[in-house]
């Protein structure tokens, strides 16, 4: 069987192979047809050199041309949508429709088009001009960006199609994509479309490159390489932290999205007002996509009492009745089983589920665990570990003070939600819990489950460590996500004609600029 080629410097070519792998079909547990290479370091060398050459050329390319590429790429994705959906469905078992075809694919092309708009107008780069002192600065491309994509969003977070890719390219950088090993064929199709679009739009060879897999040492060497500008990573905490160590030691920015249990706090007044509705809402959110979302609600904090018992009965019944979905891979199944076992070992009671193989292919029964607030606080470290999948832990606290202590002691999370009464009857309780929860999470929701992550300029898909590596940046949302892949470039006493377009007196790109303290789109008058 032929080993699939990698994409280096604008060409599909044979890898310097040091291993090979196939993806499984998670429903059948059988290997899929294509054979993919594990690359040796020499492939990274080629990619790094090509990316470095591309950096110099991209500097002279107008941002409108980069925008054209992103739009043409989005069009190309739509043209091959059926093929992408089929490949991703085979590799991930995610439903072809609506999930892949009607949810994730439009999200992906939408992101690329938003990134195109951002690239061409340039507001994201925060051009800042001090006319009196003759100093001007702007966020500029940081250099080649390595993107490691996760297993759970083969399109929208894919290494050569997703948010990190769109952000890095829109900010003017070449991307070296490392495919997720669970969906290499999907990634390959994206790379084909991207490379065609890059070529048609006249982007330099080496602007988009793809490797399928590296051994861990080479991955760490890659993110620390002097030629690299920065890295975007979404995936497991353990692998991410190994990359972080390597990048940190080399002084290379790395943006990580690692893990999160996304605490949900339901105040007594909300339970009283609409407990049954909340049970339905929670069940849908937690089981959607077989729970395989970064923002899946993995921890629910409830006040003890009858209403909580009714809520728990409701969701236990619902979890028992709902079919267990197929998980993304053998490793997700294995990790989920290990996490549930470890929660039970730490004192959580299994209310429903707990069995491996309860559905088609790789699967795990929809599971709920329960622990008292006292028990949680006694071993919070063990009881707040992520169980990635269709599982959640219910913590029944003695009172509001204990609910506050529980959320106040959590480590960093992407999201946290508080459900309260519609009519503001519990404002004091809300404020108490919110004050404890707010600093622990990137996004604080009210009366809404966290599993939807809108691609909005105001979104924060980020949060305090160890949910991510830096609490000041978001992985989703434009223009914010672009700013991760940029360096602050200041020009002092530099003649107008020598400035980048976005800093010249005439506002040629038309984006917003901070001129002498005020944001404006106007030209600067001489």
Binding mask 401-420 for its own copies (x = CB under 8 A): -----------x--x-----
| Rounded CA separation 209/212 (Å) | 10
Residue partners of 287: CB distance under 8 A and separation at least 6: 319, 322, 325, 366, 390
By CB under 8 A, name the one of 135, 239, 356, 377 that touches its own copies. Answer: 135
Q: Is 245 left (phi over 0), alpha (psi -120 to 50) or beta?
A: alpha
Token output for 250: 């080399």
Token output for 204: 């330099």
Q: Which of 98, 251 has the CB closer to its own copies?
A: 251
By CB under 8 A, name the one of 17, 81, 242, 494 that touches its own copies. Answer: 494
Task: Provide the minimum distance between the beta carbon of 524 and its own copies in the complex, in angstroms, as a whole number.
Answer: 12
Task: Provide the minimum distance between the beta carbon of 58 and its own copies in the complex, in angstroms, as a whole number.
Answer: 12
* Phi–psi pair at 79, nearest 5 degrees: -70, -30
Give the interface segment with its own copies, choosing from 147-155, 197-205, 325-333, 424-432 (CB under 8 A): 424-432
Q: Which of 350, 489 has the CB closer to its own copies?
A: 489
Give the interface segment with its own copies, choosing from 37-45, 263-271, 378-386, 470-478 (CB under 8 A): 470-478
| Rounded CA separation 330/237 (Å) | 18
Distance between alpha carbon 201 and the CA centroid of its chain, in Å? Answer: 28
Q: Which of 178, 244 has the CB closer to its own copies?
A: 244
By CB under 8 A, name the one of 252, 285, 291, 365 that touches its own copies. Answer: 252
Q: Which of 2, 497 has the CB closer to its own copies?
A: 497
Give the interface segment with its own copies, choosing from 26-34, 217-225, 309-317, 482-490 (CB under 8 A): 482-490
Annotated catalytic residue within 44, 201, 286, 294: 294
Instruction: Pick the closest to residue 196 from 212, 185, 207 (CA basis).
Output: 207
Give the interface segment with its own copies, choosing from 28-36, 263-271, 330-338, 437-445 (CB under 8 A): 437-445
Told to check if 495 binds its own copies by CB under 8 A, we report: yes
Torsion sign over Cα 365, 383, 275, 287: negative
Interaction with its own copies in 18-57: which residues (CB under 8 A)? 55-56
Could you write out the three-class secondary structure of 414-449?
Answer: EEEEEECCCCCCCHHHHHHHHHHHHHHEEEEEECCC
Active site residue 257: yes
73 contacts 190 by C-beta, under 8 angstroms:
no
Q: Which of 290, 507 has the CB closer to its own copies?
A: 507
Interaction with its own copies in 54-83: which residues (CB under 8 A)? 55-56, 59
* Phi–psi pair at 366, nearest 5 degrees: -55, 125
Give Rg (Cα) of the chain.
Answer: 24
Binding mask 140-159 for its own copies (x = CB under 8 A): x-xx----------------
Residue partners of 376: CB distance under 8 A and separation at least 6: 383, 395, 397, 406
Q: Which of 11, 438 has the CB closer to its own copies?
A: 438
Told to check if 474 binds its own copies by CB under 8 A, we report: yes
Annotated catalytic residue within 91, 257, 273, 333: 257
Token output for 280: 């339905």
| Rounded CA separation 361/347 (Å) | 29
Told to check if 444 binds its own copies by CB under 8 A, we report: yes
Give the interface segment with its own copies, choosing from 89-97, 315-323, 340-348, 435-443 (CB under 8 A): 435-443
Interaction with its own copies in 209-248: which residues (CB under 8 A)? 244-245, 248
Total residues in contact with its own copies, by rule CB under 8 A: 76
Buried b (16+ CB within 10 A) or exposed e, 479-509: bbbbbbbbeeeebeeeeeeebbebbbeebeb
Active site residue 18: no
374 contacts 395 by C-beta, under 8 angstroms:
no
127 contacts 138 by C-beta, under 8 angstroms:
yes
Number of residues in the chain: 526
By CB under 8 A, name the one of 487, 501, 505, 508 that touches its own copies. Answer: 487
Task: Provide the minimum distance between the beta carbon of 253 and its own copies in the complex, in angstroms, as a whole number.
Answer: 6
Give the interface segment with its own copies, choosing from 3-11, 36-44, 61-69, 456-464 (CB under 8 A): 456-464
Catalytic site positions: 257, 294
């Amino acid at each position: 069987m032929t080993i699939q080629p990698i994409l280096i410097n604008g060409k599909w070519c044979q890898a310097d192979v040091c291993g090979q792998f196939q993806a499984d079909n998670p429903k059948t547990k059988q290997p899929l047809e294509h054979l993919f290479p594990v690359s040796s370091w020499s492939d990274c060398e080629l990619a790094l050199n090509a990316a470095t050459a591309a950096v110099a050329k991209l500097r002279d390319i107008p941002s409108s041309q980069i925008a054209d590429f992103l739009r043409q790429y989005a069009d190309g994705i739509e043209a091959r949508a059926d093929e992408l959906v089929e490949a991703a469905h085979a590799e991930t078992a995610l439903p072809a429709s609506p999930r892949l075809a009607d949810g994730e694919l439009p999200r992906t092309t939408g992101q690329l088009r938003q990134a195109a708009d951002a690239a061409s107008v340039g507001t994201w780069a925060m051009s800042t001009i001090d006319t009196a002192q003759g100093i001007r600065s702007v966020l500029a491309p940081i250099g080649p960006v390595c993107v490691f994509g996760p297993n759970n969003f083969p399109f929208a977070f894919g290494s050569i199609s997703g948010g990190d890719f769109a952000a890095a390219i829109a900010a003017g950088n070449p991307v070296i994509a490392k495919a997720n090993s669970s969906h290499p064929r999907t990634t390959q199709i994206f790379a084909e479309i991207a490379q065609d679009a890059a070529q048609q739009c006249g982007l330099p060879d080496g602007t988009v490159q793809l490797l399928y897999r590296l051994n861990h040492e080479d991955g760490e060497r890659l993110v620390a390489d002097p030629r690299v500008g920065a890295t975007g990573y979404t995936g497991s905490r353990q692998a991410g932290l190994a990359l972080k160590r390597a990048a940190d030691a080399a002084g290379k920015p790395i943006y990580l999205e690692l893990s999160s249990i996304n605490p949900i706090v339901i105040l007594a007044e909300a339970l009283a007002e609409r407990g049954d509705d909340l049970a339905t809402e929670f069940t849908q959110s937690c089981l959607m996509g077989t729970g395989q979302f970064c923002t899946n609600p993995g921890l629910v904090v409830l006040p003890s009492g009858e209403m909580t018992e009714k809520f728990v009965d409701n969701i236990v019944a619902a979890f028992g009745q709902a079919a267990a979905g197929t998980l993304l891979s053998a490793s997700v199944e294995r990790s989920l089983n290990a996490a549930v076992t470890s929660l039970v070992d730490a004192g959580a009671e299994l209310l429903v589920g707990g069995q491996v193989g309860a559905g088609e292919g790789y699967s795990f029964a929809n599971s709920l665990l329960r622990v008292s607030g006292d028990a949680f606080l006694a071993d919070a470290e063990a009881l707040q570990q992520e169980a990635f999948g269709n599982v959640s832990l219910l913590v029944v606290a003695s009172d509001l003070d204990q609910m506050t202590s529980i959320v106040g002691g959590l480590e960093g999370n992407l999201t946290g939600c508080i459900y309260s009464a519609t009519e503001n009857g519990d404002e004091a309780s809300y404020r108490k819990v919110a004050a404890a929860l707010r600093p622990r999470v990137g996004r604080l929701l009210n009366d809404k489950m966290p599993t939807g992550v809108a691609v909005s300029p105001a979104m924060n898909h980020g949060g305090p460590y160890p949910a991510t590596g830096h609490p000041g940046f978001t992985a989703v949302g434009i223009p914010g996500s672009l700013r991760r892949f940029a360096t602050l470039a200041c020009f002092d006493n530099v003649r107008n004609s020598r400035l980048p377009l976005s800093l010249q007196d005439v506002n040629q790109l038309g984006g917003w600029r901070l001129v002498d303290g005020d944001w404006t789109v106007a030209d600067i008058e001489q």
